[in-house]
Amino acid sequence: MTATLCLLCIPLRFPPNRTSFSSTSISLTPIRAQNQEIRVCTNRTCRRQGSFQTLETLSALAPPTITVNPSGCLGKCGAGPNVAVLPDGFVVGHCATPARAAEVIMQLSGGVSDSLGVSKSLEALALRKRAECEVEDGNFSQADLLLSKAIELKPCGGIHIIFKDRSIVRLALGNHAGALEDANEALRVAPRYPEVRSILVNLHVHYIPSKKLTRPLHFNDEGRKCLKLPIWRPGSSTSNY
């Protein structure tokens, strides 16, 4: 019988000068690259140890400069869930809890990982999840309240998603100025955030021309770039709508 090679079972090969980090590590060295990537092993062993929950938590908390993707086997099976951090190429083991995932995000973002910061970030994530349930039930006012509380907690990452969610909620509530303010803020944090474009298009096409607004809506530079509008400058003849 011809032997077959399972590509998902081949560990990634990292530079020899990089070490692996277990859950007993005190700290991680923040990566200096502008864009980073976290790969979460979803192979059989790590999957049994909860890697899908780790993937979900990391994705929800990651700032715009960190992308999170599933991965094949990263080696060190049995010490997972394992996540690899690129471009440095080191592996973090035993990333099995939401708190550990939040700690990893905070440290890679250059922040100080402490129990209070981790707690606030996870609480903000829980509030966002509750707001999603309220939206599904049509309780937009309650969702607005929950998302506002999440923003006040200043989580380690994912705040652009919270601003986007609250923008959608406020649009549903008829708070067009608030919706645009949140969309602008989401783009300020994540200038290339594609999900905000539909909100801006909705406001630009349906609400601004109707002249039913209580006060003017102003797009920031990121919003105008997203809509391919001329950039407004003080003293220019270009409208800031």
pLDDT single digits (tens) 112-139: 678 899 999 999 999 999 999 999 999 9
Mean pLDDT of 42-51: 93
Containing H/E element for 37?
strand 36-41
Going by pLDDT thresholds of 50, 70 and 90, the confidence category of residue 140 is: very high
Q: Indicate the residue type of 205.
A: V
Q: Tell me the whole-structure pTM to 2 decimals.
A: 0.72
The two tokens of residue 224 are 């105008």
pLDDT value of position 174? 87
pLDDT value of position 207? 59
Domains in the chain, ordered, with CATH? 33-108 (3.40.30.10), 115-226 (1.25.40.10)
How much is the mean pLDDT over the chain? 77
3-state secondary structure of 104: helix
CA neighbor of 217 nearest in space, from 167, 152, 143:
167
CA neighbor of 169 nearest in space, from 183, 187, 190:
183
- Please report the DSSP string for 152-190 in residue order: HT--SS-HHHHHHHHHHHHHHTT-HHHHHHHHHHHHHH-
